[in-house]
Amino acid sequence: MGVCRDTLLITGCAVMEERTQEEMQEFADQLAPALFYCTDGFSTYQDLIWPLDGKHLLSIKKEKTHTIESINAQLRTYLARLKRKSRCFSRSIEALWKSIRLFVWHYNRRQRLINSNPKRWKNRLTLLF
């Protein structure tokens, strides 16, 4: 998943069975151009070619990835099919992809409303999913 740190909008997402170099590069190619791409320590990120030669920043202590980590936590909270210890996990990549796209649509819609008037909506607008 890709997130713009200024607007907190989700700018890209992908569902992969395995995070191979080829699939990760395909995802990176679809991301919006940025000056910096912040990731965790997963080894495949080091070898990717980022759009417009953007710089890759490795975030060891999550100081630069806390935004995406909080969105991932919300995703796991709202989508039962991502709860690993339940019977609801996805057996179909297509069904999981559709659920995540729906989550992204709702999340971005909410975030645009918050961005339009932060004083009014900042702590009042919950994610209804």
Distance CA 49, CA 33 (A): 12
Q: Enumerate the domain spans of the chain.
A: 1-65, 73-129
> DSSP assignment, residue 50?
-
> What is the pTM for the complete model shown?
0.80
pLDDT in tens, 84-121: 665 666 678 888 899 899 999 999 998 998 889 888 77
Residues 20, 28: contact at Cβ < 8 Å?
Answer: no
Residues 48, 42: contact at Cβ < 8 Å?
Answer: no
| Helices and strands (DSSP H and E) totals, the chain | 4, 4
List beta partners, residue 2. Answer: 12
